[in-house]
Amino acid sequence: MTVATMYFSAYLGLFTSLLLSVACNSFLDIQYGTFPREMIFWTVVFGWTLLIGWRQHGNVTASAKAWQKGVLFFGLFLFFFVFLRMWDMPRAGLYLLAMLQASYNCVTIDRRQLSLGLLVSLTLVVFAASHYRADWTLLFYLAPYVVAVVFTLVADQIHRHGDQLRRLSLGRSSRQGQGAAILSATLAIVLVGGGLYALTPQVNWPYLEWRYGQIMPNDPGGNLEYNGSSGQGGADKSADDESGGQDKAQGPGEMGLLPGNRWPTPAEMRAAAKRPNMPGWQANAIEQLADISESVQHTLQPVVARVIDLWEALKQWLKQHWLAALLGLLAVMLLMILVAFGALLREVPWIAWLLTQWDYLRLGILARHDKGKGGASQYYGAMARLFALHDAPRPATANTREYLARIVRRHRDLHRSAAEMTLLFEQTRYGRQPVDTETIQRMRQLYRELYRRL
């Protein structure tokens, strides 16, 4: 079995994913002020170990294995003497998992190990998202994490496929354009995924059973999950009250994206920005988000109110004039049916024959034609109906010359008259001179001649 080695972009993506997944967990303890120090520590640990892995170039060396063991022992040491004391289980176990992954990074050289690394990062993120202190502010780390994971997988796949194509192709291929391909694919998947997430109704089993099955009591057997998650850090609970009341509004273990949850108001956003030890960039971003949200609300409020007013007025009008609206709708439908029926009737042979007889009576015998261009169009139209009755209908896309060619193919003996009629019609339509009576009379003569000969 061949070992599918990793590319630099995959290492970069794995580093970002792991760092953001740990950041999601560290952010839960933001009020203690250890977040920057933790981030620096994990940046160094993941950066160094992945650098060791990258420098293997697909072949694990003895020094990498030594580093793996060293990081492993260092992780165990931290687990027993730092993590357990600081966070207790299960948070300490989670950080031990992160250290184990850091140890494994030293020998991460192929695709399977990359997938395992991403899976570990997903485990860390799921844990953080399930925590009772997780709220919408976690999105600042969760959204980049999602993008980083998608980027990693896409970059790995595209690099791998590109290399495979280069090996198999007869011509010389280059890597030019792969970056654009990776970014486009990442963007597309994230956007489609976001759209699906927004559109999907996020239901649960109790709701489905209530809606489509038997009525179930709410929270049967108690909410074991929430009870479990609340025990993730006994000492942390005291800080809940200091978090600006957000947790109470969101409920335990939720991120503000749960079914039925609403987007925070600008006031709630500003309160979140003022939480103790919130990173400066994040506080600024939240403030700007609150400003934007507020301005959007100000802009949209009158528009929304106007739309609602119009909608209410329409409903009121319909309530008062429902009979007139119904009859009007029926009249329009009847008119459309009649128009369609008229168009169908034109295709019926005996109706077409009647129309040509009417044309001849009106235009040929009584000479009841319009003046100017209108008269010329009437005679040309009458000629077209006449030929349509004699196996030479005018296609919808054919111009006059193409139609003349079609007539000549079918009725060669009428070539001269049809050609003159077409010429006169074109002259009246596109000529500079105004249409005189002689021209219309000549078209009438030609029409009569064509009628008689057909």
Partner 1 sequence: MVLRGKFFILAVFALAAYMAAISREQSLPWLIAALLTASLLTGMFWPRWLMQRLAVKRTGPQRALEDETVVFSVEVENRGWLPRFMVELVDRLPFVGAADNGPDQANKLLGSINYVPGRGKRSFDVPLLCEKRGFYRLGPVGLASSFPLGLAEARKTTNHGVQTLTIYPRIFPILSMPLFGAPSQIHRGGYLLPDGAGAAEFSGLREYRRGDNPRHVHWPTTARLNDLMVKEFEPLASACICIALDLAKDANIGRGKQSTLEYAIRIAASVAGYACSQNMHSRLLGEGSSPLRIASGKGDFHYQGILDALAVVDAEGKTPYAQLLMQIALDCARGETVLLLLAEPPQRCEATLQALALLRAKGAHFFAVVFDRDSFFPAGTQRGDIGSQPLSAGLLELGAHCLHVRRGDDLSGLFNR
Instruction: Give the binding site for partner 1 (CB under 8 A).
Output: 122, 125-126, 129-130, 142, 146, 150, 153-154, 157-158, 161-162, 165-166, 168-178, 180-181, 184-185, 188-197, 200, 202-205, 208, 225, 253-255, 257-259
39/129 with CB nearer partner 1: 129
CB of 233 to partner 1, least distance (A): 18
150/418 with CB nearer partner 1: 150
CB of 14 to partner 1, least distance (A): 17
116/122 with CB nearer partner 1: 122
CB of 202 to partner 1, least distance (A): 5
User: Nearest to residue 440, comparing CAs of 385, 376, 381, 390?
Assistant: 376
CB of 5 to partner 1, least distance (A): 17
116/419 with CB nearer partner 1: 116
164/301 with CB nearer partner 1: 164
11/145 with CB nearer partner 1: 145
CB of 188 to partner 1, least distance (A): 6
CB of 194 to partner 1, least distance (A): 7
CB of 56 to partner 1, least distance (A): 25
100/185 with CB nearer partner 1: 185
CB of 451 to partner 1, least distance (A): 48
Spatial separation of the C-alpha atoms in residues 304 and 299, rounded to whole Å: 9
130/377 with CB nearer partner 1: 130
